[in-house]
Amino acid sequence: MTDRNELSFGGFRLDLSQRQLSRAGEAVPLGSRALDILCVLAAAKGDVVSKDDLMTHVWPGLVVDENTIRVHVSALRKALDEGTSGQTHLMTVPGRGYRLVGVKPQPSVADGGADSASTPAPLDKPSIAVLPFLNMSGDPEQDYFADGMVDEIITGLSRIKWLSVISRNSTFISKNKPVVIKEIAEKLGARYVLEGGVRKSGSRVRITAQLIDAQTDAHLWAEQYDRVLDDVFALQDEITMCVVGAIEPSVRKAEIDRVRRKRPYNLSAYDLVLRVLPSFFAQMAKDFATAIPLLEKALELQPDYGAAHAFLGWFLHRRFVLERREDDRVAAIQHARMAITHGNDDATALAVAAHVIAYDDHDTATALKLFDRALELSNSNVLALSLSAIALAWIGKTELSMERASRAIQLSPFDSYNFRPHYALAIAYFYKRQYKNAVDAAQNAVDYNPHFCAARAVLVAALLRIGRTMDAKAAAREVLECEPTFTIHGWARSVELEPTVFRPFADAWREIGLPE
């Protein structure tokens, strides 16, 4: 039998009868209200719990405002997510409430098993998760190469139309951790799992890979390769094609051909771009100083490297947003245009270029065509889905924006960069005057990334429109703490893609006192 008073999720163990939370055998300190909230969420076993239900169970007979709930939920989320490398256990469901991810009863010795865990909504196609490849070189400095190999394989798999590919930022929650294939597959909502290892030494590389059907635990395919580095791109394609063929033996040649795409011919330039990818995903201002020179060096080595142009345009765009240097804006647009010319079959490069062209050049017609092209190439590209959802929201195409944002979240349930699609939802909800939903979505984006000032700005406007003026003022102060150079006019230079969408935000920011 199973002890229904003990539940587990994400390495935590919760004893409902003793009201104790532990991890790795050590107690996790929580305030009494936060623990009460956790017990209610855990008892729901992955179902959404509304704020009204939380009020009823945690504050019976009392009247409390939503901000009180939010304070304790934030404290609980901080305790649960600390040290998890971006994994989020407590999810805000806009307009509905909260849910605890991955809850399952703790198995007893007698039954040796557990009830089924809460998992992401099933995807509408066969789905695969590519786990981080093990760096077998023994040199931590080579992690970037192993991670880059995974990125390339994910990119190749994402070009197959009938296959859903889980985002690398969701699969990377398992990096440097022991995993049970069936458990990680259930957690990610994937049927197939690809795992492997990389050893790079001098001019040679050794790669091992195996494909597992997580439902049956059957090994569908496994191989080991020893190649010179000059063959690394052909090797990436070969692994991708073997995976596709193992999943669907009757796959048409056209599908296999779609995997192949233009690659850089200069391996040193490719290596420099791989080194920049962690900074691209981290998006910290301190990384600009190192990322920009590396990409400039990559383009010296290979001037027609589309991805290098795209990423350089991105970093210049981000620096322009913070420092408002006109030469950065002009250069960002130039590199984005070059990315289109030289990276027309690279979905990520096109999506990044489209983002820059939309916000720095305000050429929304071109940007939307590029986003569509990126998703034609790779309909599982979470970055293209997320960035296009944001642009579409600012343009006023709310239904398509919400559709793509929801798809991104579905494909990447544990992505630490899910602040992007939640931010898109917040803009869309606000424009549709669904202000309460906008508050929830904006707060979710802030919870994912407290340093993402754009979501805080949207939160200010949404809080004001539901009458929470004091909370809106507090959020406005946080905007200025996060981005001291924030002005309404400065923001208009980037995100005023459609005046009728931007104007209601600007009106709210003026009312609350943010600088013009």
Are residues 31 and 72 in contact, defined by beta-carbon separation less than 8 angstroms? yes
Percentage of residues of the chain with pLDDT beyond 90? 20
Summarize the confidence of residues 509-513 as an average pLDDT.
Answer: 92
CATH number of the domain at 3-106, out of 3.40.190.10, 1.10.10.10, 3.90.180.10, 3.40.1030.10?
A: 1.10.10.10
Per-chain mean pLDDT for the chain: 79
Q: What pLDDT is attached to residue 119?
A: 46
Residues 6+ apart with CB under 8 A from 493: none
Burial group, residue 109, by CB count within 10 angstroms (0-12, 13-18, 19+):
exposed
Q: What pLDDT is attached to residue 11?
A: 65
Residue 90 bridge partners (DSSP): 100
- Name the CATH topology of 267-512: 1.25.40
Q: What pLDDT is attached to residue 190?
A: 82
pLDDT, greater one: 447 or 101: 447
Residue with tokens 């997510």: 81
Summarize the confidence of residues 143-155 as an average pLDDT.
Answer: 79
Domain 127-259 CATH class label: alpha beta
- Where does the pLDDT of residue 263 fall: very low under 50, low under 70, confident under 90, or very high at 90 and above? low
247: closest CA among 229, 208, 221?
Answer: 221
Q: What pLDDT is attached to residue 445?
A: 86
Structure tokens at 335: 């590199």
Cα dihedral 462, 466, 468, 472, rounded to 10, equals 10
What is d(CA 214, CA 212) in angstroms, rounded to the nearest whole number?
6
Phi then psi for residue 224, to 5 deg, are: -125, 135
Structure tokens at 228: 């010179």
Q: What pLDDT is attached to residue 110?
A: 35
pLDDT tens digits for range 361-385: 999 999 999 999 988 888 778 889 9
Percentage of residues of the chain with pLDDT beyond 70? 81
Structure tokens at 9: 């999720």
Structure tokens at 129: 């998760």
Instruction: Tally Cβ neighbours within 10 Å of residue 63.
Output: 7
What is d(CA 321, CA 491) in angstroms, rounded to the nearest whole number?
8
Structure tokens at 155: 């990119």
pLDDT tens digits for range 93-125: 656 778 776 554 434 333 333 333 344 555 556
Are residues 324 and 311 in contact, defined by beta-carbon separation less than 8 angstroms? no
Q: How many residues does the chain have?
A: 516
Q: What pLDDT is attached to residue 105?
A: 43
Query: Is the model's pLDDT at 86 over the cut of 50?
Result: no
> Residue 175: left if φ>0, alpha if ψ -120 to 50, beta else—which one?
beta
pLDDT, greater one: 464 or 54: 464
- Where does the pLDDT of residue 462 fall: very low under 50, low under 70, confident under 90, or very high at 90 and above? very high
Q: What pLDDT is attached to residue 353?
A: 93
Structure tokens at 69: 């709930």
303: helix, strand or coil: coil
Q: What pLDDT is attached to residue 114?
A: 34
Q: What pLDDT is attached to residue 337?
A: 92
Q: What pLDDT is attached to residue 213?
A: 84
248: helix, strand or coil: coil
Structure tokens at 184: 């990680």
3-state helix/strand/coil string of 212-247: EECCCCEEEEEEEEEEEHHHHHHHHHHHHHHHHHHH
Report the amino acid identity of residue 192: Y
What is the 3-state composition of the chain as percent helix, strand, coil, each rounded to the nearest 5? Answer: 60, 15, 30
pLDDT tens digits for range 285-300: 666 778 889 999 989 9
Residues 6+ apart with CB under 8 A from 94: 422, 425, 429, 437, 440, 441, 444
374: closest CA among 337, 420, 343, 402?
Answer: 343
pLDDT, greater one: 117 or 65: 65
pTM for this predicted structure: 0.65
Query: Is the model's pLDDT at 225 over the cut of 70?
Result: yes
Burial group, residue 500, by CB count within 10 angstroms (0-12, 13-18, 19+):
exposed
Parse the chain into domains and list their residue ranges: 3-106, 127-259, 267-512
Distances (CA, A) of 338 to 308, 311, 313, 335, 357: 10, 11, 9, 5, 11
Q: What is the DSSP string of 153-192?
A: HHHHHHT-TT-EE--HHHHGGGTTS---HHHHHHHHT-SE
Query: Is the model's pLDDT at 192 over the cut of 80?
Result: yes
Burial group, residue 202, by CB count within 10 angstroms (0-12, 13-18, 19+):
exposed
- Where does the pLDDT of residue 502 fall: very low under 50, low under 70, confident under 90, or very high at 90 and above? very high
Q: How far is CA 399 from its chain centroid?
A: 21
